[in-house]
């Protein structure tokens, strides 16, 4: 009956393989809803599109684009769009599935979706980037919409790209469809607080977790992998709480300073140099040595499968805060748990971004906009409430926070599935 999907070939450490194992682990806690679990192991819909554009030099280039809607039992699809040379259908499927879990874990009225283009955007001019974004948006236009599926920023996408997506969709439909994407610029229906929301959520869940394990943030040593929007925003908040950001790593290099970086210097350095590499206020580290750094908190905020079992064995941190999606492979997750390292999993830790995306979408529909304080107060309340429910579930069943998050989320998704029933 339920044969594995023919169009992907997951392995133990690949994103979809990792996700499937996470789902398998939750089955014992689903009771009668386990009957529906197979629905989580396949995407509802996956669209592959060709994105041809004219390059500035007159050549025609083709890029491979995707939009995957994993589950829509609880509402329209929701999730970001990623531009990266390593994007694959399998990766986008896993990212879409993690969005279903994440959105349900914080109880947003959304299903899960994700998109991506297999491209290195750094190799494109601004005009080429715009043409690619607009053609991609037109191609996936047949399945996205304010009530169908709402894209947002992810790796290498930003408010400007969301503005082009919103404009393209609006032009194609003859409307002003602000609600079709979130993470837009403020004067196009964007929300205050959205840019820093994911980092803020990482900090808020991290602060709660630290409190529960008796780790004082004042003076705590923090290492951050990925110094993009998520990693840098989280680092700023930890620094404000008195923590020392002692190590950082991105595609440009790895840096270390036992006394903590001066973020007032590091942030502009990253802006002008495109990454942390070469920052004068720190010493350079070999890539692999980053994982040996003496720290209390490790924040992987880059890509998937970064914490492998070998790295999990060496990690010095007491607390791992998953700013990225899928940064820890399952074997590493087990090692961390055996070693008593607490992991706040991606599907709750980085849910701050999509939570403020939800606020943005609600504000767009009502054409009434909230203050940044209102946004942050509501965000903190949702994140803290969601984490408490997950923590109680973990305590009750003696399971990890990851399996507990899946338990809370899958119960919500599959209850909706059951109540709606199968059609026809
Ligand atoms: N890309 C972000 C994530 O992985 C945000 C998605 C959204 O706001 O829809 O959660």
Share of the chain above pLDDT 70, in %: 100
User: Each residue of 129-176: pLDDT tens digit?
Assistant: 999 999 999 999 999 999 999 999 999 999 999 999 999 999 999 999
Is-catalytic flag, 114?
yes
Looking at residues 93-115, what average pLDDT do you find? 98
Q: Check whether 1 has a pLDDT greater than 80.
A: no
* Ligand 1 centroid distance, CA of 82 (Å): 10
CATH number for the domain formed by residue range(s) 197-349 = 3.40.50.720
Contact predicate 350/198, CB 8 Å:
yes
Q: Which atom of ligand 1 is nearest to the CA of 351?
A: 10
> Is 197-349 the same fold as 43-177?
yes
Structure tokens given for 357:
């995306």
pTM for the structure as a whole: 0.98
- Domain residue spans of the chain: 43-177, 197-349
Among the atoms of ligand 1, which is closest to the Cα of residue 82? 1
Select which of 41, 44, 102, 114 is catalytic: 114
Alpha-carbon 11 to chain mean position: 21
Level-2 CATH architecture, domain 43-177: 3-Layer(aba) Sandwich (3.40)
Is 79 touching ligand 1 by the criterion CB < 6 Å? Answer: yes
Give φ, ψ of 87 to 5 degrees. -60, 135
Q: Where are the strands (E) in 266-369, listed by range?
A: 283-285, 297-300, 319-321, 342-344
Q: Would the CB of 80 count as within 6 Å of ligand 1?
A: yes
- 152 within ligand 1 shell (Cβ under 6 A): yes
CA distances from 123 to 84, 143, 152, 153 (A): 11, 28, 22, 19
Residue with CA closest to ligand 1 atom 5:
354
Q: Say if ligand 1 is within 6 A of residue 154 CB.
A: yes
Taking the C-alpha atoms of residue 151 and residue 159, their distance in angstroms, rounded to an integer, is 12
Say if residue 48's pLDDT is above 80. yes
Q: What is the pLDDT of residues 300-345, one digit of tens each?
A: 999 999 999 999 999 999 999 999 999 999 999 999 999 999 999 9
Stretch 90-108: mean pLDDT? 98
| 327 CB within 6 A, ligand 1 | no
∠ CA 131-132-133 to the nearest 5 degrees? 90
Q: Quick check: helix, strand or coil at residue 259? A: coil
**103: exposed, middle or buried (Cβ count in 10 Å: 0-12, 13-18, 19+):** buried
Instruction: State pLDDT tens for residues 183-199.
Output: 999 999 999 999 999 99
pLDDT at position 260? 98
Average model confidence (pLDDT) across the chain: 98
Q: How would residue 229 be classed by pLDDT, with cut points 50, 70 and 90? A: very high
What is the whole-number distance in angstroms between the Cα of residue 282 and the centre of ligand 1? 31
What six digits make up the tokens of 214? Answer: 């008796």
Q: What's the pLDDT score for residue 119?
A: 98
How many other C-beta atoms lie within 10 A of the C-beta of residue 292? 14
User: What are the structure tokens assigned to 117, written together?
Assistant: 């283009």
């Amino acid at each position: 009956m339920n044969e594995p999907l023919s169009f992907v070939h997951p392995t133990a450490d690949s994103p979809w393989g990792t996700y499937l194992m996470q789902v398998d682990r939750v089955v014992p806690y689903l009771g009668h809803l386990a009957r529906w679990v197979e629905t989580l192991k396949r995407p509802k819909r996956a669209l592959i599109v060709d994105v041809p554009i004219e390059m500035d030099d007159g050549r025609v280039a083709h890029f491979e684009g995707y939009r995957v809607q994993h589950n829509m039992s609880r509402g329209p699809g929701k999730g970001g769009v990623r531009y990266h040379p390593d994007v694959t259908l399998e990766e986008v499927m896993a990212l879409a599935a993690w969005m279903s879990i994440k959105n349900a874990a914080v109880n947003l009225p959304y299903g899960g979706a994700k998109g991506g283009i297999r491209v290195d955007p750094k190799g494109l001019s601004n005009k080429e980037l715009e043409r690619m974004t607009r053609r991609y948006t037109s191609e996936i236009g047949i399945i996205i919409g304010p009530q169908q599926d709402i894209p947002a920023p992810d790796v290498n996408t930003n408010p400007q790209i969301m503005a082009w997506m919103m404009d393209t969709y609006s032009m194609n439909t003859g409307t002003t469809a602000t609600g079709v994407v979130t993470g837009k610029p403020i004067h196009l229906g964007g929300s205050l607080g959205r840019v820093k929301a994911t980092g803020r959520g990482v900090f808020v869940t991290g602060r709660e977790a630290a409190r529960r394990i008796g780790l004082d943030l004042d003076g705590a040593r923090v290492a951050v992998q990925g110094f993009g929007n998520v990693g840098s925003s989280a680092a700023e908040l930890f620094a404000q709480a008195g923590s020392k950001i002692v190590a950082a790593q991105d595609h440009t290099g790895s840096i270390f300073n036992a006394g903590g970086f001066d973020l007032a210097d590091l942030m502009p350095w990253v802006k002008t140099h495109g990454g942390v590499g070469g920052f004068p206020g720190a010493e350079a580290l070999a890539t692999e040595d980053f994982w040996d750094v003496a720290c209390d908190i490790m924040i992987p905020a880059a890509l998937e499968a970064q914490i492998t079992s070998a790295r999990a064995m060496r990690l010095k941190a007491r607390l791992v805060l998953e700013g990225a999606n899928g940064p820890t492979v399952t074997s590493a997750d087990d090692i961390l748990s055996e070693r008593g390292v607490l992991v706040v999993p991606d599907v709750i830790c980085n849910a701050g971004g999509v939570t403020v995306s939800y606020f943005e979408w609600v504000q767009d529909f009502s054409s009434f906009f909230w203050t940044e304080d209102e946004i942050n107060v509501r965000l903190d309340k949702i994140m803290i409430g969601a984490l408490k429910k997950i923590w109680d579930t973990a305590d009750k069943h003696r399971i990890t926070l990851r399996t507990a998050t899946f338990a809370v989320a899958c119960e919500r998704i599959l209850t909706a599935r059951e109540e709606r029933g199968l059609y026809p």
